[in-house]
Amino acid sequence: MSVSETKNHSTLTARAAWLVWSGMVNLANSVLLWMVLARWRDAAEVGRFTIAMSVYLIFSGLCTLGLGPYLVSEFTRRKSNQSHLSFAASAAVFLSLCAAGFAVLMCATGFFVSAAGEVRLTIALLSLALLPTGLIVIAEAVFIANGKTRVVALANTIENALRTVLPLLLVLRGSGLTMIALAFVGARLAACLVYAVATRDRWLSLRLARQHEVLALSRVTPTFAGITILSSIHWQMAALLLGKFGSEVAAAQYGVASRFLVPVAVLLTSYTSVIQPEATRRATVSPTSLGAFLSQVLRSVLVLALPFVVGTWLLAREALTWLFGIQYGDSAMVLGLLGASALPLSLVMIVARGLVATGQQRVDLFGNFTAVVTCCLFGWMLIPQYGANGAAAAHLLSMIVLAAVEIGYVTRQLFKLEIGSALLQCSVPLLLMALVVWGVRPWGLWSAMLLGAVVYFALWGGIVEIKRQITKGKRQKWEAEEDFSM
């Protein structure tokens, strides 16, 4: 890696660090709230909450229409300040109107997915949180494109902190799901307020919205919206199928286990948002340059994803029991299967940035369609007999199919991905980590996690340093031979 590449990678990492921080706060929201619900409320109520949140998460993704990466690329490309403001205002108007439509559709969906009145009312209240999404998406894209990810991190941190504290207080006071839904709405509005304060000198720019900009957005929206719709449905399909073909208890088991995937997805989304501008710039240079950049990113992500997958399988029962109570210890297989899906998820989210950068996002659309069909097929086959385990297996198989479609296309048609060295480099540390974790499981969850992490990263760091020294020695030898020949 050259000095310029190292500096560029460090800059991307520093910018991503702010978003990763907000993702860690989201971990508290996604795990702590579910932990308290699982311990203080019965499984039936947790199942109803799972169904309501699944619908909300689908529509919160739909509200963005998948335009996030496109908006970041456009703000990066546009040099004129006037063009920049006009495009931002037009996009804000366009997305706000779409958010209002999705809010109405979300309310109607509540009547389809559940006959319980509490679930329907909770979904209707959560739909109010969709209304400010358009403004928030535009603000995030502007700040990411300008390298000001700390503003995005601040807004996300405040929102996730409120989404954790307020619902927890309501649960402890014995409030119902409807009050928890209102707390989510309030947290969303707080994030919008942060962006409003940060851009207070640009409010009048909303008058710069132009019809031709709105029409241009509407033309590129179908593909990106299709990707978002399908990926959102795919992400929640197993939980929805459980609500239709399974029991509320099975939905609760799947719901608590799936909480471990939420922070993984958030962290990956944070990182891929930061790399999108650089991927776009690399694509304008050459496919080879883009492939080298994405390979470097993939290797870094795999170093973290692989121990998560292995650790999830080994410590699933201990983690579920510690967080959610002994009654959810039998969901270990569910967590293991869902944890394994983090690996193809990591590959897909990085490769998708390359597809957007090269204008081949239709491949991502086709891949997500295939994944939804796969999840529906296997869910229909497995859930009636295996319950939550069948739902998790269906989700894992669909993620593998999605990764195969996208990686297969880019390696044949666009650019080469070099990740074999990362897998080989992690193999020995992973094996020894697994042996250590398995051996110290009787010591407790945190002891096993800590010792496993120390062993893995120490061995991996040692291997990296050895390879660096070997490469340095070869370079010095080659330079010496060059000097001698001259």
Given a cut of 60, is residue 423 above it in pLDDT? yes
Q: How confident is the model at residue 257 (pLDDT cuts 50, 70, 90)?
A: confident
Q: What residues contact 114, with CB distance under 8 A and at least 6 apart? A: 48, 51, 52, 120, 243
In 202-304, the DSSP E strands lie at: none
More confident residue, 189 or 3: 189
Q: How confident is the model at residue 2 (pLDDT cuts 50, 70, 90)?
A: very low
Could you give the count of Cα atoms lying within 13 Å of 94 in the half-sphere of its Cβ?
26
DSSP assignment string, 213-230: HHHHHHHHHHHHHHHHHH
Q: How confident is the model at residue 401 (pLDDT cuts 50, 70, 90)?
A: very high
Given a cut of 80, is residue 344 above it in pLDDT? yes
Contact call for residues 438 and 314 (beta carbons, < 8 A)? yes
Could you give the count of Cα atoms lying within 13 Å of 372 in the half-sphere of its Cβ?
17
The residue type of 456 is: Y
* Nearest-angstrom CA–CA distance, 200 and 60: 25
More confident residue, 199 or 295: 295
What is the percentage of the chain residues whose pLDDT exceeds 70?
79
Distance linking the first and last C-alpha atoms of the chain? 26
Question: Closest Cα to residue 199, out of 101, 84, 68?
Answer: 84
More confident residue, 277 or 380: 380
Instruction: Report helix, strand or coil for 67.
Output: coil
Residue 264, Cβ neighbours under 10 Å: how many?
24
Q: Average pLDDT of the chain? A: 77
Supply the pLDDT for residue 442.
Answer: 80
Given a cut of 60, is residue 191 above it in pLDDT? yes
Question: Closest Cα to residue 95, out of 5, 228, 4, 193?
Answer: 228
Supply the pLDDT for residue 6.
Answer: 47
Contact call for residues 389 and 334 (beta carbons, < 8 A)? yes
pLDDT per position as a tens digit, 63-101: 777 777 777 777 766 655 556 677 777 777 788 888 888
Contact call for residues 142 and 88 (beta carbons, < 8 A)? yes
What average pLDDT does the segment 422-435 reach? 81
Given a cut of 60, is residue 378 above it in pLDDT? yes
* Nearest-angstrom CA–CA distance, 99 and 101: 5
Q: How confident is the model at residue 23 (pLDDT cuts 50, 70, 90)?
A: low
More confident residue, 2 or 461: 461
Rounded to 5°, angle at Cα 378 from 331 and 45: 40
Q: What residues contact 60, with CB distance under 8 A and at least 6 apart? A: 129, 130, 133
The residue type of 7 is: K
More confident residue, 483 or 219: 219
Given a cut of 50, is residue 57 above it in pLDDT? yes
What average pLDDT does the segment 472-483 reach? 62
Supply the pLDDT for residue 446.
Answer: 81
pTM: 0.68
Q: How confident is the model at residue 216 (pLDDT cuts 50, 70, 90)?
A: low
Cβ density class 453-470: b for 16+ within 10 Å, e for less? eebbeebbeebeeeeeee
What average pLDDT does the segment 338-365 reach? 83
* Nearest-angstrom CA–CA distance, 69 and 86: 18
Q: How confident is the model at residue 193 (pLDDT cuts 50, 70, 90)?
A: confident
* Nearest-angstrom CA–CA distance, 59 and 363: 22
Residue 91 has which token pair? 């996009």
What is the percentage of the chain residues whose pLDDT exceeds 90?
2
Supply the pLDDT for residue 7.
Answer: 46
Question: Closest Cα to residue 92, out of 19, 147, 142?
Answer: 142
- Name the DSSP letter for residue 359: T
* Nearest-angstrom CA–CA distance, 453 and 429: 10
